[in-house]
Amino acid sequence: MAKDDIDDLKERVAAACRVMGRLDLTREPAGHVSARVPGSDNILIKARGESEAGVRYVTADDIITVDAEGKALDAGAGFVAPREVFIHTWMYRSRPDVNSVIHMHPSTVVAFTIVDRPLLPVYGAYDPASLNLWIKGIPNYDRSVLISNDKLGEELAGAIGDSDVIMMRGHGITSCGDTVEAAGMNAILINELAEMNYKAALIGTPRAIPDEDLAEFKERLGGRRAGAGAAWDTYRKMVDA
């Protein structure tokens, strides 16, 4: 991959970090975004360490390269690979369709994992994209540990299966996509669904939409994966304004 293309991919990974941070989808400075480097086994990922920036302030300078084993190849002074780099290495190893992985700690989603309460499909037309995420399936990883080794990385990758997002008990989420922007949208979409479930529960008892409406959306959406488009462009412009 040409250097200019690598630089562009770093910028996109950094932008996704900023969007996640500015939307309060993590507990600073925790969380990381990565991208597969086309044509190689390497990964670009947000670094941790003494020199790291908070997620909402990440620039391309905070993005390092790691190999398929999670070992840093070009980390400068004060930078190391995230301890949970195995979330990323195992997702890429297990899912050829995935080109970007995001791990964040959205508090509302975490609250649902703590009380073992499932997210319900409480809306349709309000946000068909996040409903589609529910239709495709949102599995749970029922452990609250740091994914800090190959065994746990493989376990998490097995738990997500072919879904695009997984809820991690008392921990956070991992989302993935065929692009950085798609992975970012999946993180936003699951948080949107969790927020609406939570707000509805404050008022009364949340209800799933009728089966006939759900069937209509299943037919219309066809299980297609989240894209980016205008929605992501808006978030990107908003956080960088």
224 has a pLDDT exceeding 70:
no
* Total Cβ atoms within 10 A of residue 220: 11
45 has a pLDDT exceeding 90:
yes
Rounded to 5°, angle at Cα 106 from 104 and 111: 130
Q: What is the pLDDT of residue 140?
A: 97
What distance in Å separates the CA atoms of residue 187 and residue 66, rounded to the nearest whole number?
Answer: 23
Q: What 3-state DSSP class applies to 61?
A: helix
The interaxial angle of helices 180-203 and 3-22, nearest 10 deg, is 10
Give me the mean pLDDT over the 133-137 stretch.
94
- Give the active site residues: 84
The pair of structure tokens assigned to 139 is 């599995």
pLDDT digits (tens, 9 = 90+) for 93-115: 999 999 999 999 999 999 999 99
Q: Are 153 and 87 in contact, with CB atoms under 8 Å apart?
A: yes
Please give the DSSP secondary-structure letter assigned to residue 82.
Answer: -
pTM of structure: 0.95
6 has a pLDDT exceeding 70:
yes
Tell me the pLDDT band of 13, cut-offs 50, 70 and 90: very high
**Mean confidence (pLDDT) of the chain:** 94
The closest alpha carbon to 95, from 161, 194, 192, 24, belongs to 161
What distance in Å separates the CA atoms of residue 36 and residue 170, rounded to the nearest whole number?
Answer: 27
pLDDT digits (tens, 9 = 90+) for 154-177: 999 999 999 999 999 999 999 999
Q: What 3-state DSSP class applies to 190?
A: helix
First vs last C-alpha separation in the chain: 30
Which residues are within 8 A (CB) of 204 and not within 5 positions of it... i.e. 6 or more apart? none
Q: Walk me through the domains of the chain, giving residue ranges and CATH numbers.
A: 3-240 (3.40.225.10)
